[in-house]
């Protein structure tokens, strides 16, 4: 896993030491000696991770972190603060500034490698979602609401074999407005987490053996429902090897006992916010995919989707298409206006969905044309199905804002066996449709040579 890492420290020896450690793991390394240089490098080079010294003259690490997290271009870049300060209040200050984790000087090689790998995995996943979401915005989708800084309304599950610890953690999270439930064993936690994935899972490492908690973490990362659930370990200082192993498995963060309430809340907030951000990106991607296959006016599938769907269906099974055209639609627009014409299109689309089977797929083919893809219907029934549909549309005029408009359709029907060409099938239906138009409109024609 290669990446570009920005090392920021005002002491040259510290920069060279971290640079050497990272180069040995084949990372690309950038260095800066001040907060101002760090911001310029971050904005122009867009590193994958920033290792940021806290105590620097001029602009300190906290301010650099705040500015990185406030800027749209860099807020997604993980920031690890490197500090000789061991006071919990300083860690909380950094977490509240947006830092993702801390490394203590002198930096331990195994801890450095473990945290970098873990944060890079998280960033790579989020980068993929961000790129897809950018595509959604290019399609013209409005951006979703901003993610709140507060964790209020989030759900958390605490897995601990100590009822006292679980209760204490719940009380610590309560001021954040986080709804907390507890599980006394890994199996109980597994059932709760998979059934209703929360926004955060806290897994306690017992003093005697933390293997069960790590096995649970591994299972959660392998399961589709919980793959993206943030995992936070509660650990003792002696659990360092297990914590590092947890990072390799996919654990997101950890907090050491005795747990500082402010630090726990800050870490929980950061993890919940990251999950909400990823959920928002996923929603944007889902919306863009829906837009790509949906007709904006009618809400039906669009031409691109139905063509691909028909090709896929004909690869394995027989299928039929009904190609419908609203008769004299230009006259409707000329007489009642384009707004009324749009209302007619939407109502015809709605009636098609109601009249056809749930298994049939209806799409707007273009303009005033619609295409229904029918599977599993006997060829002898297709003409009857199309006639019933035509009559249902004719029977009731479309009521628009200002008028009641009679609407009729002409329908071309064609069927084909598995392995046939989708293009040829649609062309046959189109030919039948033009025959229906030529015979006076408001009628159904079955393609010649097809039963």
Catalytic residues, by residue number, are 368
Phi, psi of 420 (to 5 degrees): -75, 165
Alpha-helical (H) ranges within 294-302 are: none
CA nearest 192: which of 173, 166, 165, 164?
A: 166
> What is the torsional sign of CA 50, 52, 57, 59?
positive
- 246, 204 Cβ separation under 8 angstroms: no
> From CA 167, how far away is CA 162, in angstroms rounded?
9
Place of tokens 């408001």: 442
Distance CA 35, CA 64 (A): 6
CA distance 449 to 451: 7
Q: What are phi and psi of 440, to 5 degrees?
A: 115, 5
314 close to 416: Cβ distance less than 8 angstroms: yes
Token representation of residue 145: 């609401």
CA distance linking residue 80 with residue 6, whole number of Å: 10
Angstrom distance (rounded) from CA 185 to CA 436: 70
Beta partners for residue 414, in sequence order: 321
Question: Tokens in use for 357?
Answer: 């089977």
Alpha helices in 174-229 (DSSP H): 186-195, 211-222
The answer to whether residues 194 and 271 touch, using CB atoms and an 8 Å cutoff, is no
Bridging pattern class, strands 179-183 and 4-8:
unpaired
Q: Which residues pair with 373 in a beta bridge?
A: 321, 361
Give the DSSP H/E element, type plus range, for residue 36: helix 35-45
* Token pair listed for 12: 């040259």
User: Any alpha helices (H) in 74-203, and if so which ranges?
Assistant: 88-97, 109-138, 163-173, 186-195
409-416 and 319-326 beta bridge pairing: antiparallel
Largest CA distance in the chain: 89
Across the beta sheet with 28-32, what order do the strands follow? Answer: 28-32, 4-8, 49-53, 79-83, 101-104
- Confirm if 169 and 199 have CB atoms less than 8 A apart: no
């Amino acid at each position: 896993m290669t990446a570009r890492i920005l090392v920021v420290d005002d002491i040259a020896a510290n920069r060279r030491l971290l640079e050497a450690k990272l180069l040995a793991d084949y990372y690309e390394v950038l260095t800066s000696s001040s907060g101002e240089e760090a911001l310029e490098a971050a904005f122009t080079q867009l590193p994958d991770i920033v290792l940021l010294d806290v105590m620097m003259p001029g602009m300190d690490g906290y301010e650099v972190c705040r500015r990185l997290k406030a800027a749209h271009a860099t807020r997604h870049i993980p920031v690890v603060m490197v500090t000789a300060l061991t006071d919990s209040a300083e860690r909380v200050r950094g977490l509240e500034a947006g830092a993702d984790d801390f490394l203590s000087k002198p930096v331990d090689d195994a801890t450095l490698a473990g945290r970098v790998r873990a944060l890079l995995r998280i960033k790579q996943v989020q980068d993929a979602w961000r790129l897809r979401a950018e595509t959604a915005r290019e399609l013209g989708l409005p951006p979703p609401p901003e993610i709140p800084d507060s964790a209020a309304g989030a759900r958390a599950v605490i897995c601990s074999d100590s009822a006292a610890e679980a209760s204490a953690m719940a009380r610590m999270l309560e001021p954040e407005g986080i709804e907390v439930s507890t599980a006394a064993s890994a199996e109980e936690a597994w059932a709760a987490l998979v059934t209703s994935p929360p926004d955060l899972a806290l897994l306690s490492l017992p003093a005697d053996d933390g293997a069960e908690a790590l096995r649970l973490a591994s299972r959660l990362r392998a399961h589709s429902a919980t793959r993206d659930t943030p995992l936070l370990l509660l650990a003792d200082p002696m659990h360092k090897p297990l914590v590092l192993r947890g990072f390799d498995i996919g654990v997101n963060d950890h907090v050491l006992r005795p747990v500082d309430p402010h630090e726990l809340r800050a870490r929980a907030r950061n993890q919940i916010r990251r999950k909400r951000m990823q959920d928002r990106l996923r929603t944007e991607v889902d919306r863009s995919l829906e837009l790509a296959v949906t007709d904006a006016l009618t809400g039906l599938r669009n031409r691109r989707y139905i063509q691909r769907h028909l090709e896929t269906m004909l690869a394995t099974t027989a299928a039929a298409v009904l190609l419908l055209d609203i008769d004299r639609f230009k006259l409707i627009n000329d007489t009642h206006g384009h707004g009324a014409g749009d209302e007619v299109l939407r109502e015809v689309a709605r009636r098609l969905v109601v009249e056809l089977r749930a298994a049939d797929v209806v799409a707007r083919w273009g303009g005033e044309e619609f295409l229904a893809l029918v599977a599993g219907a006997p060829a002898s029934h297709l003409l009857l199905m199309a006639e019933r549909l035509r009559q249902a549309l004719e029977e009731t005029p479309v009521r628009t804002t200002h008028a009641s408009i009679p609407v009729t359709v002409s329908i071309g029907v064609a069927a084909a066996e598995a392995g046939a060409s989708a293009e040829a099938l649609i062309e046959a239906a189109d030919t039948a449709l033009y025959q229906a138009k030529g015979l006076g409109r408001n009628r159904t024609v079955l393609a010649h040579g097809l039963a």
